[in-house]
Structure 1
Amino acid sequence: MPSNKSVSNAPITQFINCRILRDHKIQREDLWVREGKILDPEKLFFDEKGFADTRIDCKNRIIAPGFIDVQINGGYGVDFSLASGDISGGVSMVAKKILEHGVTSFCPTLVTSPSSVYSQVLPQIKVQNGGPSGAGVIGVHLEGPFISEEKRGAHPPKFLRSFEAGAADLLGIYGKLDNVAMVTLAPELANSGPVIQELVRRGITVSLGHSMADLSQAEEAVTQGASFITHLFNAMLPFHHRDPGIVGLLTSDKVPSGRRVFYGMIADGIHTHPAALRIAHRAHPTGLVLVTDAVPAMGLPAGRHTLGQQEIDIQGLHAYVAGTKTLCGSIATMNMCVKHFRQATGCSVEDALEAASLHPAESLGLVHRKGTLDFSTDADFVVLDDALTVQETYIAGQLVWKK
């Protein structure tokens, strides 16, 4: 029977001659879009007797959900951790440039900073939908300052903090958490348990990272609500067979039933050996989230740049803390990471694409809107060739970038 719901007269676009990623498989199907959402063609035909207003021939290319980067520190000279200058303008510029990498949503990431930086920067980074002017901002990722001094990586030691008074310290340093999507902290810090619970209560994803935690401390943090690991293998105790540390969460039997631990991986060919990528992927494929951890020098030539309070040196594809061999994020783009991940692990095309779309959406609790091409989700997607090179990027069904 025809539905009694009022039928929209908005134009309908049908993408034809394409292979789309749906239900973990690339299938030969058309994609239908109306008012920024993915349409169910059966309802359209049988309930509405509707048809397409515009047809777009995809020339046998792949359509996959738009990429979501949950850890990006800046790019093109813009540093999200610097309070000087036009912060929202800088975020908008990066949002516009990453469309060409297939990124349709992202979490601007702030590294360990003095509390004055958080109070100036956080109110200016607004959660907003993407469009022709750039990728959508899902919320901020705060990486530090509640991390381990031994595993601080590129984070300046003088700004590191601990939880003397639990969640009050957190709010004292960050101020309001309205626009925050994720917080990276070290679970071995005293009083971290109540902090994790408070963050989760506010709908913020808690990630474990820059940490000396052993496996039991990591498992305890997961039972309290932590659900992510920041750049697996980097800035944590190395895997040891008697105590695998945070890495052991990938196969832990203490993860509460019905819960999944996600983990970020910088698949830039530098941060993680291909064999380590393969081990992680084979141990826990549905938790793997590709992140760029891109620094402000991404997209710029080699030489001296900044990352928050640190000077960094770009040498080839490596980003180091100036004067050291300490890696501090990458200059990789998300489409590079997708290609390298597939090549390094030999995984399926579906796995490579879902690690940059479905899994990050699941990790942030956004899968009802993002990360899939399911009916009535946001029509954010990328068109790729068989080499997984991004050809076009769409947000809300609108073409926002073309190669």
Structure 2
Amino acid sequence: MRISARRAVVDGELTGPVTMTVDDRIITTVEPYADPEADIVLDEGVLTAGLVDIQINGAFGVDFAAADEAGWDRVAAALPATGVTSFQPTLITAPLDRLIAGLDTATEARDRQEDGPYARILGVHLEGPWLSPLKNGVHEARFLAQPTAEAVDRLLGAVGFDILTLLTLAPELPGALEATRRLTAAGVPVSIGHTDATAVQVGAAADAGATLVTHIFNAQRGLAHREPGVPGAALADSRYRVGLIADLHHVAAEICTLIFRAAPGRVVLVTDAIAAAGMPPGGYVLSGIPVTVGEDGVPRNIDGTIAGSALTLDQAVRNMIGLGLPVAAVIEAASLVPADAIGRTDLGRIAPGARADLVHWTEDFHPARTWVDGREFPAFVGTGVGRV
């Protein structure tokens, strides 16, 4: 199959025209010209790589912590209509036995969905339970724990390494740096988050192998002029990529712009979405925690603490482009950078050797067509659910 597009995001630039060849679900060639005889000719809009969401707790009425098979399939089938072709389901703080069981459930879902029609499950992001009680947000304090050697043994011994693809911890906790070294040595990327770490401790975590910051500026020691805290240290340290919930509620527009300028090529757009994403205001659940979404679209628990988001990743892209940020930088923050963050260099880019995961956007950056492994998902009218 050959696809020709008038404009596309390739190699960090909004460029065009381009014509690509897809063979056996892989992009084999990308050439800088238009081919009017291609199988698919896109004369309007922009063609990009598929989006990669590495922090999503649920969506479309489904909470991954409690989802049955139908729920997992519902989310994976619906995400391509938002431009997401790969995702990392996220499980938040709970007893370790429950989290390990959740990893098994995710493995079953990934294996069941392997041949589509679904967005690709990359693995699981465990956000907790090794978090700071001073910055736990909506994570239940009763389930917080420390990353003891025994706990790390249990986690690594109970699951296949390929399903645990990211773990968030607070690096200042006793045992956290050694846990970081062990996890990264086992091939599990570590992100720091829900943390009261100082800038010195943030640097020590990077020395131990941490490479990400979970939802920068939220649930972490803040930026100050004499103590840079987590945001200041991470933005200044090129070893870190920084996750950003770009719903314009978690982080103000001005700070979103500042983050992109301070960390070019290191911003990872995430949704941190809960079951409320793609749904109307009302009551939802996040890992057993009651959450209400008001007319402002922001999920909050009973005491008013923000509890994830109702954001979809295509809306995050529109929000950032709407701030005047460069289109290519925003697209790559939602595709190439998150893919690289978890070691998936076969995703998130239009390049020879990459999986043929693609999004064709309208001129106002709404997904019009989406392909996963070269197979197209037409929009299912009224629900956003994809089908082949």
Is the pair's TM-score, using the shorter chain for normalization, greater than 0.5? yes
Indicate conservation of the 8 Å contact 2:235/2:259, yes or no: no
Question: Structure 2 vs 1, CA of residues 227 and 41 (structure 1 numbering), >3 Å: closer, same or farther?
Answer: closer
Distance (whole Å) between structure 2 residues aligned to residue 402 and residue 191 of structure 1: 47
Residue in 1 aligned with 2:384? none
Partner residue of 1:105 out of 78, 86, 100: 86
The letter of the residue matching 1:188 is E
1:389 partnered with 2:366: yes
Structure 1 residue 375 and structure 2 residue 352: aligned? yes
Match of residue 386 from structure 2:
none
Q: Give the equivalent residue in structure 1 for 2:251.
A: 272
Q: 1:342: how far off?
A: 1.7
Aligned Cα root-mean-square deviation (Å): 2.0
8 Å CA contact retained: 1:99, 1:393: yes
2:225 matches 1:225: no
Match of 1:297 in 2: 276
Q: Distance in 1 between the 2:36 and 2:252 partners?
A: 47
How far the C-alpha of 1:299 sits from its partner, in A, is 2.1
CA spacing shift, 1:194–1:303, aligned 2, 3 Å: same
- Of the three residues 12, 16, 29, the one matched with 1:40 is 29
Once the two structures are aligned, what percentage of the paired residues are identical? 31
User: Within 5 Å, which residues of 2 pair with 1:1-400?
Assistant: 13-27=1-15, 28-40=17-29, 55-82=39-66, 86=68, 88-126=69-107, 127=110, 132-163=116-147, 165-166=148-149, 168-172=150-154, 175-178=158-161, 179-252=163-236, 255=237, 260-316=239-295, 317-321=297-301, 323-344=302-323, 346-367=324-345, 369-400=346-377
Instruction: Confirm or deny: 8 A CA contact 1:382 1:394 kept in the other structure.
Output: yes
Contact 2:64 2:90 in 1 (8 A): yes
Tell whether the 8 Å contact from 1:249 to 1:261 is kept in structure 2 after alignment: no
Quick one: distance in 1 between partners of 2:127 and 2:42? 39
| One-letter amino acid matched to 2:88 | C
The Cα shift of 1:251 comes to 4.2
Distance in structure 2 (CA, Å) of the matches to 1:379 and 1:354: 16
Q: How many residues are treated as equivalent by the alignment?
A: 370
Aligned letter for 1:324?
A: D
Letter in 1 for 2:159: K
CA contact (8 A) 1:66 1:102 kept: yes
In structure 2, the CA distance between the partners of 1:139 and 1:397, relative to structure 1 (3 Å rule), is same
For the Cα contact (< 8 Å) 1:20–1:30, is it kept in 2? no
Between the aligned partners of 2:169 and 2:5, the Cα distance in structure 1 is: 46
Structure 2: how far apart are the matches of 1:169 and 1:152? Answer: 19
For 2:145 and 2:5, locate their aligned partners in 1 and report how far apart those are by CA, in whole Å.
55
AA of the residue aligned to 1:32: T
TM-score, with normalisation over the residues of structure 2?
0.90
Verify the 8 A CA contact 1:380 1:395 in the aligned structure 2: yes
- Inter-partner Cα distance in structure 1 for 2:378 and 2:114: 12
| Unpaired segments ≥5 residues, structure 1 | 1-12, 43-50
C-alpha separation between the residues in 2 aligned to 1:402 and 1:295? Answer: 22
Contact 1:130 1:395 in 2 (8 A): no
Please tell me the residue identity of whatever aligns with 2:347.
Answer: K
Deviation at 1:260, TM superposition (A): 3.0
Alignment correspondent of 1:5: none
Q: Residue by residue, what CA displacement relative to the aligned partner does 1:62-96 show, whole Å, maximum 9, x if unpaired?
A: 110100000000112211122xx62x432221111
- Aligned-pair distance for 1:102? 0.3
Paired letter, 2:85: T
Q: Conserved in 2, the CA contact under 8 Å of 1:20 and 1:31?
A: no
The code of the aligned residue for 1:31 comes to: M
Q: Secondary structure at the match of 2:118?
A: coil
Q: Secondary structure at the match of 1:90?
A: helix
Distance (Å, rounded) in 1 between the aligned partners of 2:38 and 2:11? 26
Question: What secondary structure does 1:280 align onto?
Answer: helix
